[in-house]
Amino acid sequence: MRVDRLVSLIMILLEKERVGAQELAEMFEVSPRTIYRDMDTINMAGIPVCSTSGVGGGFEIMREYKLDKRVFSTADLSAILMGLSNLSSVMRGDELVNALAKVKSFVPAAQANDIALKANQLHIDLSPWMGNQNIQPYVEMIKTALQESRLLSFAYTDRHGIETERTAEPHQLVLKSNHWYLQGYCRKRNAFRLFKLSRMSNLQMREDVFTPRDYEKPQLDVADLLKTMQMEIKIRIHQSVMERVLDFCSYEHFLPDGEEHYIVTFPFIEKDYYYDILMSFGSKCECLEPPHIRAEMKRRVQEIAALYEKEHPFSEQPRLDEL
């Protein structure tokens, strides 16, 4: 976990006069290049780290800074503890516990209560109320595979329901909109792919190790693309589904219609995903316009109704209490 490593690096630099890159790399079981990147991050955070080359060279925090200035202010410590505490709600493991303990060791006794109060002012819990119980074990397995550069194999079901066997080199775990993803190099497609963990099954960590490739960041910001694809439709909803509709648009798009209904300007793309959203509101939502979207909603409703016009074989079997 990089947060844990950065905090540990700062503590080591505070305690020692100078430490070599190779020594730090061996200590944390990473490459010297990773240590150099970490030092850049620490510098960007406002802690001046300087490096000396040659025999006896290495990294050190500027002595004037160490002597004359506190490394972490009350606000800094509150922010770090807040981030680590909330990260622990979605990422488990000893490394987070250790990082929290180390950061708390910086807290002056006189300010402990004030810092604890500020750190607890924000709580993030992204764990689902219910859902796929494989997600957390998969997250932990992928974390281990990332740390050890181990290959992963799994069955993957795409959005069309087609299942394929995949082998991937894991490069990054991504949490986006309450969903976990794996960014990895897919050896079946010979390209980087973003895999949704809920679509994985039979995830296995293999003994094979791999050499990490030049990383290709996933495209996670699709706001500009959505603007070119989205349209606005008018829907009439019952107040009982208002909270769910607010997940997709703000209250400024709501216009009261009587005592129990609203007319809503709703963002929409003509894809199954968006039709499914409207369908999920059931009889509490009616598409008013444009006409072709309303007609397609009607067709889909009729298609569902047709399923229930036929007798299903299971419905003809006698109930247990009739036997």
pLDDT digits (tens, 9 = 90+) for 42-72: 888 777 888 888 777 888 887 666 544 455 6
| Res. 211: pLDDT tops 50 | yes
**Residue 258 scores a pLDDT above 90:** yes
Cβ 19 vs Cβ 12: under 8 Å: yes
Of residues 12 and 36, the one with the higher pLDDT is 36
Distance (Å, whole) CA 224 – CA 232: 16
**Token couple for 299:** 């067709």
Residue 291: how many other CB atoms lie within 10 Å? 9
pTM of the model: 0.57
Residues of the chain with CATH 2.30.30: 135-209
Looking only at Cα atoms, what is the longest distance across the chain? 89
Residue tagged 């299942």 (tokens): 163
Instruction: Report the amino acid identity of residue 125.
Output: D
Q: Mind listing the pLDDT tens digit for each residue in 92-123?
A: 556 666 666 666 666 666 777 777 777 777 77
Q: Which residues does residue 238 pair with via DSSP β-bridges, in sequence order? A: 261
Average pLDDT rounded to a whole number, residues 264-278: 93
Describe the chain by its helix, strand, coil percentages, rounded to 5: 45, 25, 30
Which residue do the tokens 């990082």 mark?
A: 99
Structure tokens at 272: 């199954």
CB 42 within 8 A of CB 74: no
Instruction: Give the helix ranges, DSSP H, for 1-93.
Output: 2-15, 21-28, 32-44, 63-68, 74-87
**Burial degree of 276 (CB within 10 A; 0-12, 13-18, 19+):** exposed
Q: Which CATH class is domain 2-119?
A: mainly alpha
pLDDT at position 23: 87
Outline which parts of the chain fall under CATH 1.10.10.10: 2-119
Under CATH, which architecture does the 135-209 domain have? Roll (2.30)
pLDDT band at 244 (very low <50, low <70, confident <90, very high): very high
Q: Report yes or no: 74 and 115 within 8 Å, Cβ to Cβ.
A: yes
User: Helices (H) and strands (E) in the chain — how many of each?
Assistant: 12, 11
